[in-house]
Amino acid sequence: MTAANQSPQVAWGLRAMTIARKARDGGRVPFADLFDLAQLHTNGMGDDHSAACAMIRFMARMAEDPVAAGGGFYQFLREWGDASLVEDMDRTEAAMGEIARTRPAPAPPPAPVQRAPPRPPGDQRRFDWQDRADTGID
């Protein structure tokens, strides 16, 4: 049996960690995930007011600055959580860092299309594609 199955605090903390990390790393956090987090808190640990306040602050800041909101919420979880939650957070950070190091770098963006200089007056070309340098038309 995992720690998440034994303790509603650890289950909520792991779910909150996942959401906070996603926001902190610039990912999109769906409303359904936020709703599930709030519902998990209400059903399992409704008397933990510090966690409720941190969750509400996080959700309120998401619209303004999701990266800062996620970072603040993640830091709260590190200070709030018991030893098993902090260990899980550290293991997750190490695993995600390893994945990021082994992932190939993204391909560079394509080079911009080179355009020919403007045509002199009286030139008979009528279309933009005739000015493109990669068409081979002189």
Helical residues (DSSP H) of 30-126, grouped into ranges: 31-45, 49-61, 66-80, 83-102
Q: How many domains does the chain have?
A: 1
pLDDT digits (tens, 9 = 90+) for 100-135: 778 777 788 888 877 767 767 766 666 666 666 665
Q: Exposed, middle or buried: residue 61 (CB in 10 Å: 0-12, 13-18, 19+)? A: middle
Q: What is the value of pTM for the model shown?
A: 0.63
Is 16 part of any domain? yes
Give the domain extent around 75.
3-99
pLDDT digits (tens, 9 = 90+) for 7-46: 788 888 888 988 998 898 888 889 999 999 999 998 888 7
Q: What is the H or E stretch that residue 30 is in?
A: none
Is 70 part of any domain? yes
Is 89 part of any domain? yes
Closest CA to 19 of 7, 2, 31, 8: 31
